[in-house]
Amino acid sequence: MKRVLARVVGFFDERTTRWRTGTNEGQLAALAALSALALGMIFISLASYDFVPVATLVIPLVLGSFVLRYRPLLVLLAIVGLGAVLTVTKQTLDTEFTSARISNLLTVILVGLLILFAASRYRSGLPGPLGEAMLVELNDRLQSQGVVPTLPEGWRSQSAVLSAGGAKFAGDFLVANLSEDQKRLEMVLVDVCGKGVGAGTQSLQFAGALGGLIGSLPPLGLFAAANDFLLRQRWDEGFATAVHVLVHLDTGAYSVINAGHPPALRWSHHESVWVVDGARGTALGILERPDFHRSVGTLEPGDALMFYTDGVVESRIRDVRSGIDWLRGRAGQVVLKDGFENAPRRILGDVLAQDDDRAVLILDRKLPVVDYARGRGN
């Protein structure tokens, strides 16, 4: 019994997988199932119109709009339309003519035509839910490039990203790479110009390009390649700001390269203050030969680096400079009160403006347990 059940579950799971990939076989299976449903409803309606009136035939059409491409949906509409005409004709011959039945028939046909028109507008050639599922899966795979691998003992990386209006896709993204010997950590935080869907789709493309290059090129070469990539795209708003950090996890030595991005902040454990980093540079996608300047330093135990996008510090009522001053003060309060745990989320929770994508990345070098307790006590 278990084997039979496993085979049945496996059969339907395989068919579902093939449907999700948009194969012709999957579409034919979905069309067959919906056609069987429609024909069953038509036969019942012919036998007992009061039990299944013609208006109920919109159900297979609505279901078809979720799972079928344009051509299979056209076949389903033909089946439903023909069945609706036969049903109304039979009932009119058997009983008296009523305008309500004609109205229901026209409603079914009109709904079918609207669904068919909507299907013809899908540029991917896939039904809406399936196309959206593939786009979301692509977004999830690209975002996985921004998940920082587990770092060696004594190091911690945390990030938080919020899109404008709570949309799924944001113009801010992170890509990261940890060397095989776990001694070199590279991270790039990017803010693609624009807002909403446009910036979100451009960030997907740019994230895929950067994710394939990080770790394979030196930092300056990576930014040069990213700049060339954006210049080739010829987007209406085809530039992006970015900040790159390379950290030697065995020594704490780091370098920061800034491409038009808000300046990084460095937390000094001994002074208990966020210090503005000096790296500056030209945004990517503007000039053929952008100018980048590198800053270097060393993270001691208890120190940290924070990177963020302009949506955190800039708004209609606050310029970037005053926003950075606010961020230094607020982030300092967060660290002194509760340490670095979940600090990016707590900082973003205090950002009032929500009309732009917002991202915060913090890399901290943990204090030894004894030193940490002593520092919190002070």
Domain-by-domain residue ranges, the chain? 2-126, 139-377
Give the mean model confidence (pLDDT) for residues 263-268.
96
pLDDT score of 282: 93
Q: What residue type is 76 in one-letter code?
A: L
Q: What is the pLDDT of residues 208-233, one digit of tens each?
A: 888 888 988 999 999 999 999 999 88
Average pLDDT, rounded, for the chain: 83
pLDDT score of 158: 93
The answer to whether 194 and 163 have CB atoms below 8 angstroms apart is no
What are 5's two structure tokens?
Answer: 């059940």
The residue among 136, 128, 134, 131 whose CA lies nearest residue 66 is: 128
3-state secondary structure the chain: CHHHHHHHHHHHHHHHHHHHCCCHHHHHHHHHHHHHHHHHHHHHHHHCCCCCCHHHHHHHHHHHHHHCCHHHHHHHHHHHHHHHHHHHHHHHHHCCCCHHHHHHHHHHHHHHHHHHHHHHCCCCCCCHHHHHHHHHHHHHHHHHHHCCCCCCCCEEEEEEEECHHHCCCCCEEEEEEECCCCCEEEEEEEEECCCHHHHHHHHHHHHHHHHHHECCECHHHHHHHHHHHHHHHCCCCCCEEEEEEEEECCCCEEEEEEEECCCCEEEECCCCEEEECCCCECCECCCCCCCECEEEEECCCCCEEEEECHHHHCECCECHHHHHHHHHHHHHHHHHHHCCCCHHHHHHCCCCCCCCCEEEEEEEECCCHHHHHHHHHC
Give the mean model confidence (pLDDT) for residues 123-150.
63
The answer to whether 259 and 283 have CB atoms below 8 angstroms apart is yes
Least confident of 9-13, 30-34, 82-86: 9-13
In the chain, % of residues over pLDDT 70: 80
Res 365 pLDDT > 90: yes
Least confident of 133-142, 260-269, 312-321: 133-142
Res 235 pLDDT > 90: no
Give the mean model confidence (pLDDT) for residues 153-176.
79
Most confident of 96-100, 248-252, 364-368: 248-252
Its pTM stands at: 0.68
In the chain, % of residues over pLDDT 90: 38
pLDDT band at 126 (very low <50, low <70, confident <90, very high): low
pLDDT score of 275: 95
CATH superfamily of 139-377: PPM-type phosphatase domain (3.60.40.10)
Give the mean model confidence (pLDDT) for residues 149-166.
84
Give the mean model confidence (pLDDT) for residues 106-115.
87
Give the mean model confidence (pLDDT) for residues 254-264.
95
